[in-house]
Amino acid sequence: MLAVLTGCTGTPPLDGTFVPTGQRVTPLAAPSAEFAALDPGLAEFPAFRAGQAVALAASPDGRTLLALTSGFNRNSDANGRRVAAASSEYVFVYDFGVGAPHVQQVLTIPNSFIGIAWDRGGSGRSGRSSASRRQS
C-alpha cells in the first residue's frame, strides 16, 4: 500500500513517535491522505498487488512521484513454480500534476534495494529500468 500525503500543514500532533528522519509517526493518516493498492497490471495475475513500497522520490517540479517496491513480489503457477515474467520489483510513476494523483506508468525491474532518485536536472530517473511499461 502507498499512502499519499497532500496539503500537510500546521503543527504536528503531540502524540506519536519520532523517527530518525525527524518526523513524527502517528496511528492516524494526515488529512486528505489516501491509501492505494499497488496494482502492476499483470494479465496472468489480475488480483496481484505489489507490496513493500520502500522508497519514494518526488520530481524536482513536484508533479511526479516515483514509488519503488523492494521485497518479495513473486508469483507462482498452479504447480508452485515461480513465474519469472510476473515476479519483479516495480517503480510506480504517479502523476500529481492535475487533479487526484494517478498511476501514469509502471516499470518492472528484476530486483531493488531501497533507493530511488531523480537525476540532477530533473528530466529523468537515475539508472535504467524498463522491462515492461503500462500506460494509464
pLDDT digits (tens, 9 = 90+) for 14-63: 567 777 777 777 767 677 777 678 999 999 999 999 988 889 999 888 89
pLDDT band, residue 82 (cuts 50/70/90): very high
Residues 63 and 122 in one domain: yes
Are 56 and 67 within 8 A, CB to CB?
A: yes
How far apart, in Å, are the Cα atoms of 8 and each of 32, 98, 119, 127? Answer: 8, 18, 26, 31
Q: Give the domain extent around 103.
A: 39-136
- Phi, psi (rounded to 5 degrees) for 118: -90, 155
Name the residue among 96, 1, 85 with its Cα closest to residue 44: 85
pLDDT at 2: 54
Domain count along the chain? 2
Residues 123 and 58 in one domain: yes
Residues 56 and 78 in one domain: yes
Beta strands in the chain (DSSP E): 2-4, 17-18, 24-25, 34-36, 53-58, 64-69, 89-95, 102-109, 133-135
Residues 52 and 32 in one domain: no
CB proximity list for 30: less than 8 A, separation 6 or greater: 5, 8
Residues 112 and 87 in one domain: yes
Are 40 and 50 within 8 A, CB to CB?
A: yes
CB proximity list for 68: less than 8 A, separation 6 or greater: 53, 54, 55, 56, 57, 89, 90, 91, 112, 114, 115, 116
pLDDT at 133: 41
